[in-house]
Structure 1
Amino acid sequence: MNMSHDEEENSLSLSKFESMLKTNKVFFFDSEEFEDIILHYMDTGRMNLAKKALKLGLEQHPKSSGLKLVQVEMLIYEDKLDQAEKLLNDLYALEPTNEEIFIQRANICSKRDQHDKAIENLTLALKYTDDEADVYSMIGMEYLFMDNLELAKENFIKCLEQDDEDYSALYNVVYCFDFLDQNAEAIVYLEKFINHNPYSEVAWHQLGRQYYALKNYEKAVWAFDYACLIDEGFLGAYLEKAKSLEKLERYQEAIECYTITMELDDPTSYSLLRIGKCFEKLGNTEEALNFYLKTVHEDPLLDKAWIALTDFYIRQKNYQKALYYVNKALGIDNDNPLYWRRYANINQFLSFFEEAEVGYRKAFENGDVELDNFLCWSDVLYILGETEGAIEILTQAKELYANESEILYRLVGLNSTLLNEEVAEKELLEAVQIDHHKNYILKDLFPFVWKNERIQAILTNYKP
């Protein structure tokens, strides 16, 4: 890698400075060399060396405003804001048009959460600076702190008009569009940006993300493709292209894309899992299982991978194995209602009704208020002979799902079982009015109630 002339000079200054510290000889540096040395040490977090360099710098150049501004930066870094402010006021008296003074004042205001004042100072800095892009970017950040995303976006766009290679500003612009739910506007902006910068892989990648958010997966693939062509090592673009291909059901191409990501970097559990899912969609169960097992080997704590294995075996109707794997997932995430629901379903298939009841209850306790959960839970309670418990569950469900015939037909059966005939008949009248066709629920779940003459009379006499 070739160094630029500036980098080479900087590197020489650093080695000269460090050999000076070792030998205790005093070498002369001009003030700008000192500034570069100090900022290098601050950037790399070596504050002791930065302070030594500042002290020596000010001894050799006591009047250098550049070094005093670096001193201000160090004081701000250490939260000595009052000292920094005093030093800035002295500098301002000498150099009222030095943009760096306004920028450092803005940094102090920002640290004090006075973002309005910070913006005032940065606006003054704009009058005197040669680097407008940087100042616009700083103004954008202050507006972000104030949650004013429209004005933040406006300033990051101005920054990019001055410097279209400032990728952090580009990410920030897109962040603002995303936050404001302006995907279509983001696309218009990015396409305009790409017209001027056709080789900006970051812009192509962000364009793909916007199309993906709008569910325009064809266009997303097209944009990610360009990002990958410009930068053949762009891992994120390959990943998102693969996700888009999955959405288009182009599973073989998606697999190829995920495979590239694993060649660019170590295989991730995410890519392995997605490849498994693609193979399963293609009907290649052997390869699917192979990749699911690779995933859990790669990341044994990835609950989603254990659930993929659970679902795989549910589809194969191998409930014993499914139960083994769902227990693995629950061992990692014990509060996931979807996992508890699977645990309950599997146990119900295996006729382990007590375990199934625990699963439905745990799913409910962890926030699952889906109709299906209530229905299956009450069915299992009825099988276990807990008819009153089943009624209680369905009464709760009724509060959430009024006029739901599947609840009412079950209540008819349960109340008839407990010989609450009047209640049962009232519920049956309600149920048939909502959905007469679903009376098969009674026939399937409560055959004795179905044969009851009074029940049959209500069903026969029903006229829509």
Structure 2
Amino acid sequence: MSKDFSFLNEDFDDLRDLLQQFENLRAGKSHSFLDEDSFEQIIDYYDEQDEVPIALQAAEIAIAQFPFSSALLLKKANLLIETKKYKEALQLLDKAALLDRNDINLYILQTDVYLALNQHEKAAAVLNEQIDQFEGEDKTELLLELADVYDDWEEFEKVFDCLKMALEHEPGNEEALHKICFWTEFTGRNEESIRLHNYIIDEDPYNHLAWFNLGTAFQGLKLYEKAIDAYQYAVAIDEKFDYAYRNMGDAYIRLRKYADAIEVLQKHLEIAKPEDVIYEAIGHCYEKQRKYTQARYYYRKASHLSPNDDKLYYKIAAAYMMEENWENAIKSLLNALKINKQSAEYNMSIGECYLEMGQEKEALLHFVNAVRIRPKSMQPWLQLVKGLYIFGFLEEALDQLANAEEKAGRKPVFQYYRAAVLIAMGKTKEGLLHLETALQQAPKILKKLVELDPAILQHVSVVDLVAQYRRKR
């Protein structure tokens, strides 16, 4: 059965007639009488069409005919604010206040003027003085307006206070519920938010936004199990509440419950527009489950939506590296490097792949690139020295260790590496002296030496020194 929308045509015809009568009035032609409501419609129309000069003219004509109409004065004041005539607007608002002090638009427009003049204290004072004079939705609207003033003033704790008062006054207000979710996280006032939203839920157990906000507050306190419970109530009330599925997925990831996270994030994909961050999160979950093929599949889906995100190509490469698929890892890393040419991390990873493949020239080239990009960072130097060590360039390794200490500082790990290089060169006595120094400085990172060359523990003198040092400890 077709619906009757004829009333829309009637409204349009009525407005068109009003506009024609106004044009006749402007042109000095005969016209029908225009009452106060008609002028308000005409002003609104021209304002919405961005024809502010005509809207102002309509307001002036209207006020001349209805000089005691506070509504028309407010319309003109709003137009003056739009044209940045703030002094004139304030004068007009003072006049409107003498006629009607019960219209909240008066105070909202005064606030707009003071904000435009960067007079936040006056803007807040206007609203604070009036809030208790109003009830119902008007009071809520003024509290929300005051919250915006404090936001612009960067009084962020007071933003939260205003939103809290708005919800205590009107627990179901959706605008306040949406906003307080952000400000709870921003201010860290999670305990207060929990108490507030428990109160709201007691008033209305089927308020899905309140359950969601309760979940985010629990999540802010790292109480992930409680957060998940709250999100589950939210989606039970509104099964298409995509943000609840998103946050629930994050909470499951924090708990390392990757299968559960995948399930709820897949639900998010069913009901919402695909997003790269959701695909990436699912890929992360599969990676943590060591299901690298599935991980790469979702990382690729994410990269299709965000082709300039180099980190996604890096994650694809990392999944290949976990399977020791060095050639495919290099292809993905090179894609990442095309986007971010100054990444030492990507150069190190490419170098590592070539190292595993025994391609010394390519490996060392990328390690040198990493050092050039981040000369004051320890890790690129370690990778370069490791490559030189593995490929047998021992003299060069010693030279680069000296350069590393000059650029990145004297680190205990460099002593361990120097010890390994000297022992490999047959300078065992000198190497053991450096090893002893390293053990004195940082005994806990002895594993770095073993990672460089596990075979070094086959040297009896090395094993004896380590055992001797442990006995002393």
TM-score of the superposed pair, with normalisation by structure 1: 0.80
Aligned counterparts of 1:155 and 1:408: Cα–Cα separation in 2 = 59
- Which residue is equivalent to 2:109? 104
1:115 to partner: Cα distance: 0.7
Structure 2: which 5+ runs fail to align?
Answer: 25-30
1:200-211, aligned counterparts within 5 Å?
200-211=207-218
1:90 alignment partner AA: K
Name the CA shift for 1:421/1:33 in 2 (closer, same or farther; >3 Å).
farther
Residues 121-130 or 320-329, more deviating: 121-130
Name the CA shift for 1:111/1:15 in 2 (closer, same or farther; >3 Å).
farther
Which whole-Å deviations, capped at 9, do the CAs of 1:14-54 have from their partners, x for residues lacking one? 65223443685655554345436645765676646755654
2:78 alignment partner AA: E
1:194 to partner: Cα distance: 1.9
Aligned counterparts of 2:121 and 2:7: Cα–Cα separation in 1 = 39
Residues 42-51 or 127-136, more deviating: 42-51
Residues 300-309 or 428-437, more deviating: 428-437
- Which residue is equivalent to 2:333? 326
**2:215/2:228 contact within 8 Å kept:** yes
Aligned counterparts of 2:375 and 2:318: Cα–Cα separation in 1 = 19
- Which residue is equivalent to 2:312? 305
The answer on 1:228 being equivalent to 2:235 is yes
- Which residue is equivalent to 2:139? 132
Which whole-Å deviations, capped at 9, do the CAs of 1:133-166 have from their partners, x for residues lacking one? 1112222222222332232222222222233333
- Which residue is equivalent to 1:274? 281
1:161 alignment partner AA: E
Name the CA shift for 1:368/1:274 in 2 (closer, same or farther; >3 Å).
farther
1:144 alignment partner AA: D
The answer on 1:165 being equivalent to 2:176 is no
**2:140/2:169 contact within 8 Å kept:** yes
Name the CA shift for 1:442/1:160 in 2 (closer, same or farther; >3 Å).
closer
- Which residue is equivalent to 1:412? 419
- Which residue is equivalent to 1:78? 83
**1:205/1:223 contact within 8 Å kept:** yes
Which residue among 393, 398, 417 is the counterpart of 1:387? 398
**2:77/2:93 contact within 8 Å kept:** yes
- Which residue is equivalent to 1:198? 205
Residues 220-229 or 440-449, more deviating: 440-449
**1:238/1:260 contact within 8 Å kept:** yes
1:338-353, aligned counterparts within 5 Å?
338-353=345-360
- Which residue is equivalent to 1:18? 16
Aligned counterparts of 1:10 and 1:227: Cα–Cα separation in 2 = 37
Structure 1: which 5+ runs fail to align?
Answer: none
**2:211/2:231 contact within 8 Å kept:** yes
Which whole-Å deviations, capped at 9, do the CAs of 1:110-134 have from their partners, x for residues lacking one? 1111111111111233354452111
Aligned counterparts of 2:242 and 2:357: Cα–Cα separation in 1 = 44
Q: Over the residues paired in the alignment, what is the CA RMSD in angstroms?
A: 4.1
Aligned counterparts of 1:278 and 1:449: Cα–Cα separation in 2 = 37
**2:398/2:418 contact within 8 Å kept:** no
Which whole-Å deviations, capped at 9, do the CAs of 1:298-319 have from their partners, x for residues lacking one? 4433334322321221111110
- Which residue is equivalent to 1:121? 126
Name the CA shift for 1:205/1:16 in 2 (closer, same or farther; >3 Å).
same
1:364 to partner: Cα distance: 5.8
SS in 2 for 1:242: helix
Which residue among 316, 319, 324 is the counterpart of 1:317? 324
**2:250/2:261 contact within 8 Å kept:** yes
1:323 to partner: Cα distance: 0.3
Aligned counterparts of 1:253 and 1:274: Cα–Cα separation in 2 = 12
TM-score of the superposed pair, with normalisation by structure 2: 0.79
Which residue among 92, 95, 98 is the counterpart of 1:90? 95
Aligned counterparts of 2:95 and 2:388: Cα–Cα separation in 1 = 81
Count of residue correspondences:
453
Residues 14-23 or 228-237, more deviating: 14-23
**1:394/1:411 contact within 8 Å kept:** no
The answer on 1:35 being equivalent to 2:30 is no
1:238 to partner: Cα distance: 1.8
Which whole-Å deviations, capped at 9, do the CAs of 1:231-258 have from their partners, x for residues lacking one? 2222212222223233344444433323
State the identity as a percent. Answer: 22
Name the CA shift for 1:428/1:245 in 2 (closer, same or farther; >3 Å).
closer
- Which residue is equivalent to 2:28? none
1:392 alignment partner AA: N
Which whole-Å deviations, capped at 9, do the CAs of 1:269-313 have from their partners, x for residues lacking one? 333333344444455555444444444344433334322321221
Aligned counterparts of 2:65 and 2:444: Cα–Cα separation in 1 = 96
**1:13/1:33 contact within 8 Å kept:** no
**1:99/1:128 contact within 8 Å kept:** no
Aligned counterparts of 1:101 and 1:116: Cα–Cα separation in 2 = 17
Aligned counterparts of 2:7 and 2:110: Cα–Cα separation in 1 = 30
